[in-house]
Structure formats: structure tokens, C-alpha cells
Amino acid sequence: MKKNKILVVEHREEILKRITDILIELHYIVYSTNEKNKGIRLASENNIDVILIDADIMQGSGLDLVAELKESGDTKSIPIVLVSTPYKDVEFIEKSNALEVDSIIFIPFDELDLISKINTALKIKEYNISSRESIKKIKNLEIELDAVTLVGDINLAHFLNQKIKYDSLIRTDTVTGLINKKEFFERLDIILHEAIEYEDSLIYVLFEIDYLNDFKKSFDKKVLNEIFSSISDIIKKNTSKKDLVSKFDNDEFMIVYKRTTEDKVEDIVDDIKSNISKIDIFVDGVVVKFSVSAGLVCVKYKYSYRRDKIENEISESYIALMNAKRRGVSSVFVYPMIIKK
């Protein structure tokens, strides 16, 4: 069985040793360094599966290292997890999102959180590989479609159906049927353009299961999929066609509401939380209960607003979600209204 390779770039010796010891105990092949340039060389030469990067390495140039790795053909597709001191500002979150950092671990970190983020990053790499293979299949289908202009309607319909199947595969989450993160940002770009043009508000809500890491440790994939599917069913019942609903890579659920008020959305969020808390999942004759917390942000756009990165629009939602989780189980944190001019 192939062992996954993890690269750790961390300038704090005690943290570097702790992370390395944990990963070695889990039977990963670990490469480690406290130097930026050596990290780049190790990443490009060793077919690395996941990279952990200290955000504060070399006087805070961790994000510069991320940018270099994302620009290189050898390393641009490797999932990256940032290791950072807590309470970073919005600008840090926005830059991380813009660089497509896959997740962030705040120090002092919990061992289970580290393991969960590593596992999620490995799943992201598997998903990226699967997506590239699907895209290749689609391109091959398109070539075949071009070559079958003389075949009957039945054969042509078969090829078209296959193309639709693969298009759906790379745009949706297979467990919940919701659109994935990539498709979400493509659709958000359209909604955001309209909001800016008509000076409307958008309300962003980010949900996550409480104690998600404990659930991932305690239950197998089948149970987790049942939980995610049940949550998505509740969310679908509390959204309409005009709302944008997505399942993100790190198992968050994102909803963007438009043409409504913050008070109404707060009531909807309360209903979603309440209904989710009533769900019963049976595992070996035992009832499993769970809850979600949410971060809510209302953004008022002015016509003069010019966005640079579409990913930046949800950075405040992550901050709101982190604040909700600090309050306890089944919590909601409402970020102060933002006016973007």
C-alpha cells in the first residue's frame, strides 16, 4: 500500500518536532525543514501529497511560499495546510482564500484537528486527480462526438448523455447532490455582479457540524455520508431556487441568500439548526445526535465596488463561523453588517 508523503515547513523547532512525531506515528513519509528554499526543493523533488506551511516563517512570508508553490507546475496541485497563530485579521484570511489554501490550523493545535485536516487535504488531492481524469474523459468524449457525425441518433444520444454525466461529476458533491466549491464560485460571480449593479445586499451563511473531528474519528464514511445527506436535505427545504447552496471541500455548507433581510435569514438559520438537532442516525442500534453552528454575514454592495478576487467575498463568513464555535454548541455568530463601496 502506497504511503502518503507529507512535507512540513515550520520555523518553530518544538512545533516542527511535534507535528513530525505525530505524522510518523501515523505511518506517513515525512519531510521537514525550517527553511523556505529547502521546502520548495523538497516539494518539487519528492512527489509530495500534502504540505504544511508555517504562515510566520521568515518574518511572515509563509503566504509568499504558498504563492511560489501554487505558481510552479510541479507543485501547484498539492493541497496546502497553513499552520498559524490565532486571531489573524481579515486580510490574512482573504489572502489565504485567494491563494486557494485548503485549510488553516491555529496554534496551539489539537492533534485530532491536525489529523482531520491532513485527511481532508489527502481527499482533496484524490478529488483533484479524479476531476482531471474526468476532464480527460470529457475531452475524449468530445473528440468521439466530433467523429460520429454520421452515426445514428441513438449512438449520438448515448455520447451526449455520457458527457452530461461527466459534466455533473465535476460540478457537484456526490454525497449531497449540492454544487461543489468550484461551481459555487462560478455562480457567485454572476450573483455578485447583479448585487453590485443594483446595490443589493447578499447574506452569506456558513454551517459546520459541531465536533466534526470527533465524528470523523468515531464513525466510518457511510455514517458520515448519511449525516451530510440529512443536513443537506434540511438546508434544501429552507432555501429556494434563487439562493446559492453549496457543499465545500472541508465539509462546510455555504448558503448565499439574496433579496431578503438579515432578520428573516436569522429565523431561517434557527429553523435549520433546530431541525438538524432533531435528526436521528442509527448506528449499531444506538441513536447518534448532532448539531451545527453557523456564521452569518450581511454585505451591502455599492455600485462603485470593484472586487479583485471572488474568493474574498466569503472570508468574513469563516471568521463568523469561528466566533460561533467559540461560543459553544449549536451557536450562531452574526458578523456586523459590511458595506463595500
Residue 237 pLDDT: 93
- Cα–chain-centroid distance for residue 106? 17
Residue 269 pLDDT: 96
Residue 142 CA to residue 148 CA, distance in Å, equals 10
On whether the CB atoms of residues 233 and 255 are closer than 8 A, the answer is no
Classify domain 181-340 at the CATH topology level.
Answer: Alpha-Beta Plaits (3.30.70)
pTM for the structure as a whole: 0.58
Share of the chain above pLDDT 90, in %: 28
Other CB atoms closer than 10 Å to residue 267's CB: what's the count? Answer: 12
Is 80 exceeded by the pLDDT of residue 243?
yes
pLDDT band at 100 (very low <50, low <70, confident <90, very high): confident
pLDDT band at 144 (very low <50, low <70, confident <90, very high): low
Is 80 exceeded by the pLDDT of residue 255?
yes
Is 70 exceeded by the pLDDT of residue 143?
no
User: What three-state secondary structure class fits 208?
Assistant: strand
Report DSSP state, residue 340. Answer: E
Residue 192 CA to residue 276 CA, distance in Å, equals 29
Residue 294 CA to residue 39 CA, distance in Å, equals 36
pLDDT digits (tens, 9 = 90+) for 282-333: 988 889 999 999 999 999 999 888 877 777 788 888 888 888 988 989 999 9
Residue 133 pLDDT: 60
Overall average pLDDT of the 26-32 stretch:
88
Report DSSP state, residue 308. Answer: S
Other CB atoms closer than 10 Å to residue 307's CB: what's the count? Answer: 14
Residue 296 pLDDT: 95
What b/e string do you get for 166-177 counting C-beta neighbours within 10 Å, with b at 16 or more?
beebbebbebbe
Residue 102 pLDDT: 77
Q: What is the 3-state secondary structure (H, E, C) of 309-327?
A: CHHHHHHHHHHHHHHHHHH
205 or 134: which leads in pLDDT: 205
Strands 281-283, 286-288: pairing kind: antiparallel
Classify domain 5-120 at the CATH topology level.
Answer: Rossmann fold (3.40.50)
